[in-house]
Amino acid sequence: MNTTAPLFSRLALAIGLVVLPGSVLAETGSSAESAPISTEVNIDGASTISADAFAIAAAGPAKGDAFAQPISAGAVAPDALQTNQPALMQDKSSDSDGLGLGGFTIPKIVFDETWASVGLGIGAVPSYAGSDDYIAFPLPVLAGRVAGIGISPNGPGFTLDLFSPESGANQGTRFFGGPTFRVRNDRAQQINDPVVELAGELDWAVEVGAQAGVSFSGVFNPVDTLSISAQARWDVAGAHDGMLIEPSMTYSRLFGPGIRFSTNLGLQFVDDSFADYYFSLSPGQSVASGLPVFTADGGLNNASSTTIINFDLDGNALNGGLNIYTVLGYSRMIGDGADTPFTSIRGDANQFIGGVGLGYTF
């Protein structure tokens, strides 16, 4: 292990998804709830996004792991779009498809028992967690609610909310949780650094686990939601054979009836198996690449922040249809993830992600 730098170095904030690529945004790693208001973005070298404010995704690229939290951007979450928002949702004109309340009409919204948001975008993400080389990466969107179960992106993967509420009266405080799944292809392909490539490619990891959290509606105004959650996952494909824990916090709100804003802050903790697989250099890898031998231990691996802004093209985020989503994220590698030669010599502990996409909610 590198003894010249502490295992836990400084923690940096910014705004992440991610889940976009599997490594940069994809780690954006933990998603908020699966209600239609979120989408975390994780910057995992390729990264991710969450589901309490949008449903983006950026389900995130699947490259590195700098962003440990997810944020979704393809859909607006129901929790923040409840009927307790008369200023934005009421219309004096009659609407046979809406709900009439004392002369006012709340237009029918798309976020009911069954809805879905799909889309596709493109973003720039690090080629692996800790890389200073950036690659173009697709940012797909897949989120929704079917049979009372919410679905939200989680890097290159998804999270299910088994307690997803149907759109209706103000939900106030509610708990959410369910299984989570994602794949990780950090340094398994598209290694843009020829020296790092000499150390050899890694295998794809398949991570399975669970997420739990709580969300609060109407925190600062009638159209916002704050969610706090944690996610734990284990590799079941025999790649890193380790586990991750990713706590996160997501805040989302509407700005007018057609603009949805969501920002996510997250941390990622990894065990020794994960750190050794992605950050250590064996004597053989040292000879092949010319980089020094390094032994990595687990601990706090990164801090990330992702922001997603969703613009509804007809000005009404409640009725579905086409929307444009933008994703901006920052992640800071920490501990041995920052000290490894893959980052300290050949890359950069500061990781960024950005992207834009077109989504459709129905």
Q: What is the pLDDT of residues 175-210, one digit of tens each?
A: 999 999 999 999 998 899 999 999 999 999 999 999
* Residue 213 and residue 176 in contact, taking contact as beta carbons nearer than 8 Å: yes
Q: Which domain holds residue 205?
A: 24-354
Q: In whole angstroms, what is the distance from residue 257 CA to residue 252 CA?
A: 14
Please indicate, yes or no, if residue 208 is contained in any of the structural domains.
yes
Please indicate, yes or no, if residue 13 is contained in any of the structural domains.
no
Query: Which tokens sit at 292?
Result: 């020094």
Tell me the pLDDT of the chain (362 aa) as tens digits: 443 333 333 223 222 333 333 333 434 433 434 333 333 333 333 333 333 333 333 333 344 454 544 433 333 344 444 333 333 443 433 344 444 444 445 556 787 788 999 999 999 999 999 999 999 988 888 899 998 899 998 878 899 999 988 665 456 899 999 999 999 999 998 899 999 999 999 999 999 999 999 999 999 988 899 999 999 999 999 999 999 999 999 999 999 889 999 999 999 999 999 999 999 999 999 999 999 999 999 999 999 999 999 999 999 888 889 999 999 999 999 999 999 999 999 999 999 999 999 999 99
Q: In whole angstroms, what is the distance from residue 282 CA to residue 296 CA?
A: 11
Query: Which tokens sit at 250?
Result: 């997501």
Please indicate, yes or no, if residue 193 is contained in any of the structural domains.
yes
β-bridge partners, 260 = 254, 310
Please indicate, yes or no, if residue 58 is contained in any of the structural domains.
yes
pLDDT digit string, tens, across residues 94-119: 344 444 444 445 556 787 788 999 99
The total number of structural domains that make up the chain: 1
Which ranges constitute the DSSP H helices of 219-331?
272-279, 283-289
- pLDDT value, residue 87: 38
Q: In whole angstroms, what is the distance from residue 113 CA to residue 166 CA?
A: 5
- pLDDT value, residue 108: 64
pLDDT digit string, tens, across residues 116-165: 999 999 999 999 999 999 999 888 888 999 988 999 988 788 999 999 88
Q: In whole angstroms, what is the distance from residue 76 CA to residue 325 CA?
A: 11
